[in-house]
Amino acid sequence: MSAPGAPSRTDKARSPGLPREMGYRLPAEWARHEATWLSWPHNAETWPGKLGEAAQVWVDIIRALSPGEKVHLLVDDAGEEKSVRRRLDTLPSKANVLFHHIPTNDAWMRDSGPLFICRPSRTRPVAVTHWGYNAWGGKWPPFDRDQQIPGRVAEALGLPVFRPGMILEGGSIDTNGNGVLLTTEACLLNPNRNPGLSRVEIEQRLRDYLAVRHVLWLYAGVAGDDTDGHIDNLARFVAPDTIVALVEEDPRDENYQPLHENWERLRRMKGPDGRPFRLIPLPTPGHVLHEGRRLPASYANFYIGNRAVLLPVYGHPNDARALEVLQGLFPDRALVGIPCRDLVIGLGGIHCITQQQPAQP
Neighbours of 81 (CB within 10 A): 17
Q: Smallest Cα–Cα separation from 153: which of 102, 85, 81, 108?
A: 102
CB contact at 8 A, 313 and 344? no
Q: In Å, how far are 11, 138, 213 from 285, measured between CA atoms?
A: 43, 29, 34
Q: In Å, how far are 38, 75, 97, 151, 255 from 102, measured between CA atoms?
A: 11, 6, 15, 11, 38
Pairwise CA distance, residues 165 & 7, whole Å: 5
Pairwise CA distance, residues 180 & 205, whole Å: 14
Pairwise CA distance, residues 148 & 165, whole Å: 14
Q: What are the residues whose beta carbons fall under 8 Å from the beta carbon of 3, sequence distance 6 or more?
A: 132, 134, 137, 138, 167, 192, 193, 194, 195
Largest distance between two CA atoms of the chain:
55
Active-site residues: which are they? 352
Pairwise CA distance, residues 40 & 80, whole Å: 9
CB contact at 8 A, 279 and 245? yes
